[in-house]
Structure 1
Amino acid sequence: MPDSRLDVPPLDLSAGSVELTRALCDIESVSGNEKPIADAIEAALAGSAHLEVLRHGNTVVARTRLGRERRVIIAGHIDTVPLNNNLPTRFETVDGRDYLWGRGTVDMKAGVAVQLKLAAEIIDPSVDVTWMWYDNEEVASEVNGLRLLAEERPDLFVGDFAILGEPTRGDIEGGCNGTLRVNLTTSGLRAHSARSWVGDNAIHKAAPILDILAAHEPRTIEVDGLAYREGLNAVGISGGIAGNVIPDECVVQVNYRFAPDKSAADAEAEVRALFDGFDVTVTDAADGARPGLDAPIAREFLAAVGGTALPKYGWTDVARFSALGIPAVNYGPGDPLKAHADDERVALDEITGCENALRTWLTGGRD
């Protein structure tokens, strides 16, 4: 495992996007330890005369100021989830396809590598571009670098369209589902388990909650032409004092992934109605984002990249752009099913494919 206390080798933005992906991944940057990689990115961009480079904490921003009629924001996070013996990176071939294996290859340093290379090389884009590489995406929202940047520098979030480099296998995934987490708490009365009739078992009282969840059939809801599959699931349960005590409390943690046709407040109302009579406490909530593909610039991007737009089921930071009135999509290399996996790996042809498609669009097809 690389030691983040050592000096980080400088990034060579003239290298190929595959090699740059490997260099970025081999800079360990688990959430909270992004300073070395942010330093490396800032230093690599410092000599780009066509870019204004800004730093906010461990978030790096680079933007063109060419006076174009339209501006696009292209963003990616530079942190990863914790390691599990999956650094340094290595190349491997699986079923005849070449991959780069290791933490961060999918989520989402391959996307960041593509963005950095294009930011450095495209000096005359057809639109003005604001590039953002931010920290703490994988952890609590209150420390998310994109959120903090928006609060401190709202002027940087003026744009006509946004692209987030989350892994999508090189497809375009519009918008995202929202997410709501609640605790459902049942109460009882403690007693010795040898005399259980004296008490009131709170864990047993949770059975109807689990019955409701088991019987629930997730809906698929069409929003602006894309079909978003919802999900309502128990993601945790806690209760019990000791092996000989009837528990007086049980908490079932429930996560609702809801389609972007409704707000987080709407989703909360649905959950409260479904679990009427139970103690419901909201612990986390975030609105989703509508696809945003009806904007002319979004349609141009879809036509240039090709393929069919898909829905994004997980929550991503496109929701932050959507909340600011900026249509946004997810687009990047890597299979999202491999994000956070111990065998995380990205196909090399997806990295170069995304680079070529994004380059074509940003240059208007010019060589």
Structure 2
Amino acid sequence: MDLDLTAPVGELTRRLVDVPSVSGEEAALADAVEKALAAVDGLRVARDGDAVVARTFLGRPSRILLAGHLDTVPLADNLPARVVGGRLYGCGTSDMKAGVAIALRLAATLPLTDASAPAGVGALRHDVTWICYDNEEVTADRNGLRRLAARHRDWLDADLAILMEPTSGEVEAGCQGTLRAVVTLPGTRAHSARSWLGDNAVHKAAEVLRRLGEYRARTVTLDGCTYREGLSAVRIDGGVAGNVIPDLCRVTVNFRFAPDRTVENAFAHVREVFDGYDLELTDRAGGAPPGLAAPAAAAFVAATGRVPVAKYGWTDVARFAELGIPALNYGPGDPNLAHTRDEYVELAAIDEGERLLRRYLTS
């Protein structure tokens, strides 16, 4: 399949959406992206698995990285893409092929060759790195950006990373950290006709839920961005049969924490909340601070004219933060539409995103 990266950005988005790329099945789209970028003068293109990286080397004093994932959640009878009333509908339109389309069109239409090196009107102010990666929508161990950081750390070097996750065109700074833990409640099995001979493990969940119900979440303001924490039960497992007093119950809790906490500090806090209970940490990912003091980040915020807000949820900006690279979330899609059957993106928002990033990257 051939991609015309110079096509209008809305049309390019549609072409990307019409190539199914459910997590683990991104190869065809990665092939097309690699082929199209390799044809652009001024780019050095590399690939690891189904992650494609393209970079300029103009000797500019700073480097900006534009990143987006190629994969989507499983289809929901929402392909091929269709345009209705100024909206492009289809799987991955909002999360996040519209953002990827903006980045790819810029790669094909910005002045990338040494002939444009003298900093004149319209010339690049920064060297630029483009990363299109795989397996973002699944478990962290499969994440393509994680793999690149482990195998090719230098490919990720930048003064600012812009992750083109859907933000409705707002600048969302940093991200929350997240962890999941399981509270295990033991009991004694018995016949339900003689319940007094047992110890009902499911009933013990009441105290766990009471503590959660009374929990008061902390709010933290960093660089003017306010992060609100949350501790919630997300799953309860227990029961043996309709006539058996259960001898085991497990309550899974999810803690979304502000980026001023480390994972260790966050888990210690959860331990305090459930003091006296057996608690097992099953999944965790640290957050990312806003990073707005970095000169490149401040310049990007100024270019957008937006007031940055906190990112609720975890994104791959945290991976860049771990490497000491300031990172922001910015993309044309609406995050509330991500993963829905009727997912769509406003075509006008894609156009505006391209204009803004072009203005930021050039003088």
What range is the shorter-chain TM-score in? Answer: over 0.9
**Runs of 4+ in structure 1 over 4 Å off:** none
Tell me whether 1:34 sits opposite 2:26 in the alignment.
Answer: yes
Cα distance in 1 for partners of 2:241, 2:147 equals: 43
Shift of 1:130: 1.0
Cα distance in 2 for partners of 1:235, 1:298 equals: 35
**Residues 98-131 of structure 1, C-alpha deviations (whole Å, 9 max, x = no match):** 2111110010000000000001111242101111
Aligned-pair identity (%): 57
Residue correspondence of structure 1 range 274-353 to structure 2 within 5 A: 274-353=273-352
**Which of 15, 27, 42 is 1:50 aligned to?**
42
Shift of 1:218: 2.1
Shift of 1:69: 1.0
Report the 3-state secondary structure (helix = DSSP H, G, I; strand = E; otherwise coil) of the residue aligned with 2:57: coil
Shift of 1:10: 1.5
Cα distance in 2 for partners of 1:174, 1:186 equals: 38
**Residues 208-241 of structure 1, C-alpha deviations (whole Å, 9 max, x = no match):** 1111111222222111210011111111111111
**Residues 287-329 of structure 1, C-alpha deviations (whole Å, 9 max, x = no match):** 1000011111111111111111111011000000011111100
Cα distance in 2 for partners of 1:123, 1:276 equals: 60
Where structure 2 has 5 or more consecutive residues not aligned to the other structure, the ranges are 113-123
Shift of 1:184: 0.8
Shift of 1:348: 0.9
Partner of 1:3: none
Shift of 1:156: 1.0
Cα distance in 2 for partners of 1:100, 1:286 equals: 33
**Residues 307-358 of structure 1, C-alpha deviations (whole Å, 9 max, x = no match):** 1111101100000001111110000011111111111111111100000000
Cα distance in 2 for partners of 1:145, 1:70 equals: 25
Cα distance in 1 for partners of 2:83, 2:219 equals: 38
Cα distance in 2 for partners of 1:86, 1:312 equals: 27
Cα distance in 1 for partners of 2:216, 2:336 equals: 23
Tell me whether 1:61 sits opposite 2:53 in the alignment.
Answer: yes
Cα distance in 1 for partners of 2:332, 2:16 equals: 15
Tell me whether 1:113 sits opposite 2:101 in the alignment.
Answer: yes
Partner of 2:245: 246
Shift of 1:191: 1.0
Tell me whether 1:229 sits opposite 2:228 in the alignment.
Answer: yes
Cα distance in 2 for partners of 1:346, 1:275 equals: 42
Provide TM-score, normalisation by structure 2: 0.95
Partner of 1:10: 2
Equivalent AA in structure 2 for residue 104 of structure 1: G
Cα distance in 1 for partners of 2:362, 2:324 equals: 25
Report the 3-state secondary structure (helix = DSSP H, G, I; strand = E; otherwise coil) of the residue aligned with 2:203: helix
Report the 3-state secondary structure (helix = DSSP H, G, I; strand = E; otherwise coil) of the residue aligned with 1:202: coil
Equivalent AA in structure 1 for residue 181 of structure 2: V
Partner of 1:170: 169
RMSD (CA atoms) = 0.9
Partner of 1:210: 209
Tell me whether 1:132 sits opposite 2:126 in the alignment.
Answer: no
**Residues 54-83 of structure 1, C-alpha deviations (whole Å, 9 max, x = no match):** 010000000001111111111000001111
Provide TM-score, normalisation by structure 1: 0.94
Cα distance in 2 for partners of 1:18, 1:229 equals: 35
Partner of 1:90: 82
**Which of 22, 27, 36 is 2:14 aligned to?**
22
Partner of 2:110: 122
Shift of 1:255: 0.5
Cα distance in 2 for partners of 1:217, 1:10 equals: 53
**Residues 30-89 of structure 1, C-alpha deviations (whole Å, 9 max, x = no match):** 111010110110111121121001010000000001111111111000001111111111
Cα distance in 1 for partners of 2:224, 2:260 equals: 12
Equivalent AA in structure 2 for residue 198 of structure 1: L
The count of residues paired between Structure 1 and Structure 2 equals 352
**Residues 268-287 of structure 1, C-alpha deviations (whole Å, 9 max, x = no match):** 00000000011110011111
